Protein backbone atom coordinates (compact mmCIF):
# COMPACT_ATOMS: atom_id res chain seq x y z
CA UNK A 1 0.00 0.00 0.00
CA UNK A 2 1.43 3.39 -0.99
CA UNK A 3 0.23 6.25 1.17
CA UNK A 4 0.70 9.96 0.57
CA UNK A 5 3.76 11.73 -0.75
CA UNK A 6 7.03 10.12 -1.80
CA UNK A 7 9.62 9.44 0.87
CA UNK A 8 11.94 12.22 1.93
CA UNK A 9 15.33 11.67 0.37
CA UNK A 10 17.40 14.88 0.53
CA UNK A 11 21.10 14.38 1.19
CA UNK A 12 21.76 17.70 2.87
CA UNK A 13 19.53 18.55 5.84
CA UNK A 14 20.01 22.28 5.34
CA UNK A 15 18.67 22.07 1.80
CA UNK A 16 15.61 20.22 3.04
CA UNK A 17 15.27 22.68 5.94
CA UNK A 18 15.49 25.59 3.51
CA UNK A 19 12.63 24.12 1.44
CA UNK A 20 10.43 23.45 4.45
CA UNK A 21 11.14 26.84 5.99
CA UNK A 22 10.37 28.62 2.71
CA UNK A 23 7.01 26.87 2.56
CA UNK A 24 6.30 27.54 6.26
CA UNK A 25 7.13 31.23 5.70
CA UNK A 26 4.37 31.35 3.07
CA UNK A 27 1.80 29.32 4.96
CA UNK A 28 2.18 29.98 8.68
CA UNK A 29 -0.15 32.56 10.15
CA UNK A 30 2.71 34.07 12.18
CA UNK A 31 6.28 33.48 13.32
CA UNK A 32 7.36 30.57 11.09
CA UNK A 33 10.78 31.20 12.63
CA UNK A 34 9.57 30.46 16.18
CA UNK A 35 11.63 27.68 17.68
CA UNK A 36 11.30 25.94 21.05
CA UNK A 37 14.71 25.99 22.61
CA UNK A 38 15.49 23.58 25.40
CA UNK A 39 18.40 23.99 27.80
CA UNK A 40 19.18 22.40 31.15
CA UNK A 41 19.97 24.07 34.44
CA UNK A 42 22.96 23.18 36.60
CA UNK A 43 21.03 20.34 38.27
CA UNK A 44 20.10 18.80 34.91
CA UNK A 45 16.50 20.03 35.06
CA UNK A 46 15.29 20.87 31.51
CA UNK A 47 13.86 24.24 30.55
CA UNK A 48 12.17 25.31 27.33
CA UNK A 49 11.01 28.54 25.75
CA UNK A 50 10.36 30.04 22.31
CA UNK A 51 12.97 32.18 20.57
CA UNK A 52 12.98 33.52 17.03
CA UNK A 53 15.47 32.20 14.52
CA UNK A 54 16.74 35.24 12.66
CA UNK A 55 19.07 33.59 10.20
CA UNK A 56 20.30 30.17 9.16
CA UNK A 57 22.87 28.70 6.83
CA UNK A 58 25.21 25.71 6.74
CA UNK A 59 26.95 26.99 9.88
CA UNK A 60 23.80 26.83 11.96
CA UNK A 61 20.74 28.72 13.17
CA UNK A 62 20.98 32.12 14.85
CA UNK A 63 18.77 33.66 17.52
CA UNK A 64 19.24 36.64 19.81
CA UNK A 65 18.82 36.89 23.53
CA UNK A 66 20.06 38.21 26.84
CA UNK A 67 23.09 36.34 28.13
CA UNK A 68 22.20 37.03 31.76
CA UNK A 69 18.75 35.43 31.31
CA UNK A 70 17.96 31.92 32.57
CA UNK A 71 18.69 30.51 29.11
CA UNK A 72 21.91 32.54 28.85
CA UNK A 73 23.15 31.20 32.18
CA UNK A 74 22.09 27.67 31.34
CA UNK A 75 23.88 27.77 27.99
CA UNK A 76 26.98 29.08 29.78
CA UNK A 77 27.08 25.99 32.01
CA UNK A 78 25.87 23.45 29.43
CA UNK A 79 26.04 24.34 25.76
CA UNK A 80 24.13 21.22 24.68
CA UNK A 81 20.62 22.08 23.54
CA UNK A 82 17.58 20.64 21.83
CA UNK A 83 15.24 22.70 19.68
CA UNK A 84 12.06 22.17 17.75
CA UNK A 85 10.04 23.91 15.04
CA UNK A 86 6.39 23.04 14.53
CA UNK A 87 4.55 24.29 11.48
CA UNK A 88 0.89 23.58 12.03
CA UNK A 89 -0.09 24.75 8.53
CA UNK A 90 2.20 22.11 7.02
CA UNK A 91 1.82 19.34 9.58
CA UNK A 92 5.59 19.32 9.92
CA UNK A 93 8.08 19.29 12.73
CA UNK A 94 11.85 19.74 12.70
CA UNK A 95 13.83 18.67 15.75
CA UNK A 96 17.43 19.59 16.36
CA UNK A 97 20.05 18.55 18.91
CA UNK A 98 23.48 20.05 19.14
CA UNK A 99 25.60 22.75 20.67
CA UNK A 100 25.13 26.48 20.94
CA UNK A 101 27.61 29.31 21.25
CA UNK A 102 27.72 33.09 21.03
CA UNK A 103 28.29 34.66 17.61
CA UNK A 104 31.08 37.27 17.21
CA UNK A 105 30.32 40.62 18.90
CA UNK A 106 30.62 42.50 15.61
CA UNK A 107 27.78 40.40 14.14
CA UNK A 108 25.58 41.07 17.17
CA UNK A 109 26.38 44.79 16.83
CA UNK A 110 25.38 44.69 13.20
CA UNK A 111 22.05 43.01 13.90
CA UNK A 112 21.30 45.22 16.92
CA UNK A 113 21.81 48.32 14.78
CA UNK A 114 19.06 47.13 12.39
CA UNK A 115 16.46 46.80 15.17
CA UNK A 116 13.98 49.58 15.69
CA UNK A 117 14.86 52.10 18.37
CA UNK A 118 12.09 51.03 20.74
CA UNK A 119 13.27 47.42 20.70
CA UNK A 120 16.84 48.62 21.26
CA UNK A 121 15.66 50.49 24.36
CA UNK A 122 13.69 47.41 25.39
CA UNK A 123 16.86 45.31 25.25
CA UNK A 124 18.50 47.70 27.74
CA UNK A 125 15.39 48.00 29.90
CA UNK A 126 14.71 44.29 30.41
CA UNK A 127 16.69 42.46 33.07
CA UNK A 128 15.48 39.30 31.41
CA UNK A 129 14.54 36.46 33.80
CA UNK A 130 15.22 38.52 36.96
CA UNK A 131 12.36 39.00 39.46
CA UNK A 132 10.23 42.06 38.69
CA UNK A 133 8.40 43.52 41.69
CA UNK A 134 6.01 45.67 39.70
CA UNK A 135 5.37 46.47 36.04
CA UNK A 136 6.11 50.17 36.69
CA UNK A 137 9.74 49.29 37.49
CA UNK A 138 10.17 48.03 33.93
CA UNK A 139 8.39 51.06 32.47
CA UNK A 140 10.51 53.40 34.61
CA UNK A 141 13.70 51.76 33.34
CA UNK A 142 12.42 52.04 29.77
CA UNK A 143 11.66 55.76 30.17
CA UNK A 144 14.97 56.53 31.88
CA UNK A 145 16.94 54.74 29.18
CA UNK A 146 14.94 56.54 26.45
CA UNK A 147 15.85 59.83 28.07
CA UNK A 148 19.53 58.94 28.52
CA UNK A 149 19.85 58.11 24.84
CA UNK A 150 17.72 60.98 23.55
CA UNK A 151 19.12 62.07 20.16
CA UNK A 152 21.93 59.53 20.53
CA UNK A 153 22.67 56.27 18.82
CA UNK A 154 21.88 53.33 21.09
CA UNK A 155 24.74 50.86 21.49
CA UNK A 156 24.15 47.14 21.88
CA UNK A 157 23.94 46.15 25.54
CA UNK A 158 26.97 43.97 26.35
CA UNK A 159 24.65 41.30 27.75
CA UNK A 160 22.53 41.08 24.59
CA UNK A 161 23.59 39.25 21.45
CA UNK A 162 23.35 36.38 19.05
CA UNK A 163 23.75 32.67 19.58
CA UNK A 164 24.29 30.06 16.92
CA UNK A 165 22.84 26.57 17.21
CA UNK A 166 25.13 24.04 15.58
CA UNK A 167 23.07 20.89 15.09
CA UNK A 168 24.56 17.42 15.31
CA UNK A 169 21.26 15.82 14.47
CA UNK A 170 18.18 17.08 12.65
CA UNK A 171 14.94 15.16 12.37
CA UNK A 172 12.29 15.99 9.78
CA UNK A 173 8.79 14.79 10.64
CA UNK A 174 6.05 14.92 8.06
CA UNK A 175 2.44 14.21 8.88
CA UNK A 176 0.96 11.30 6.86
CA UNK A 177 -2.41 9.57 7.00
CA UNK A 178 -3.17 6.80 9.48
CA UNK A 179 -0.29 7.91 11.73
CA UNK A 180 2.16 6.46 9.20
CA UNK A 181 4.20 9.62 9.46
CA UNK A 182 7.53 10.06 7.76
CA UNK A 183 10.60 10.57 9.95
CA UNK A 184 13.97 11.31 8.43
CA UNK A 185 16.94 11.80 10.75
CA UNK A 186 20.26 13.30 9.75
CA UNK A 187 23.31 12.85 11.94
CA UNK A 188 26.61 14.65 11.62
CA UNK A 189 29.55 12.27 11.98
CA UNK A 190 33.14 13.36 11.29
CA UNK A 191 31.86 16.36 9.34
CA UNK A 192 29.53 14.28 7.12
CA UNK A 193 25.76 14.02 7.29
CA UNK A 194 24.24 10.56 7.13
CA UNK A 195 20.52 9.85 7.22
CA UNK A 196 18.08 7.13 8.16
CA UNK A 197 14.36 6.74 8.73
CA UNK A 198 12.55 5.96 11.98
CA UNK A 199 9.25 4.30 12.65
CA UNK A 200 6.73 7.01 13.40
Ligand X SMILES: Cc1cc2nc3c(=O)[nH]c(=O)nc-3n(C[C@H](O)[C@H](O)[C@H](O)COP(=O)(O)O)c2cc1C
* Interacting residues toward ligand X by CB under 6 A: 31, 34, 47, 49-52, 63-66, 69-71, 128-129
User: What are the residues whose beta carbons fall under 8 Å from the beta carbon of 24, sequence distance 6 or more?
Assistant: 32, 85, 87, 89, 90, 92
CB 148 to ligand X: min, Å:
23
Integer Cα distance of 111 and 98 in angstroms: 24
**CB-nearer residue toward ligand X: 65 or 93:** 65
CB 196 to ligand X: min, Å:
32
**CB-nearer residue toward ligand X: 66 or 93:** 66
What's the N-to-C CA distance of the chain in angstroms?
17
CB 95 to ligand X: min, Å:
18
Which of 7, 115, 179, 183 is catalytic? The answer is 179
**CB-nearer residue toward ligand X: 111 or 193:** 111
Classify 151 in phi/psi space as left (phi over 0), alpha (psi -120 to 50) or beta: left
Establish whether 95 is a catalytic residue.
Answer: no
Among 46, 14, 20, which Cα is nearest to 33's?
20
Report, as residue numbers or ranges, the catalytic residues: 179
Amino acid sequence: MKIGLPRLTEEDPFILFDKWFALASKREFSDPNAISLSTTDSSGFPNVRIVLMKKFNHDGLIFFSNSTSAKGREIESNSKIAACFYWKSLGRQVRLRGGVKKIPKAESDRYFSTRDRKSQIGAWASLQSKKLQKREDLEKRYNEISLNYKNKEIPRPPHWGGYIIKPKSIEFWDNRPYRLHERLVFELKKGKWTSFNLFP
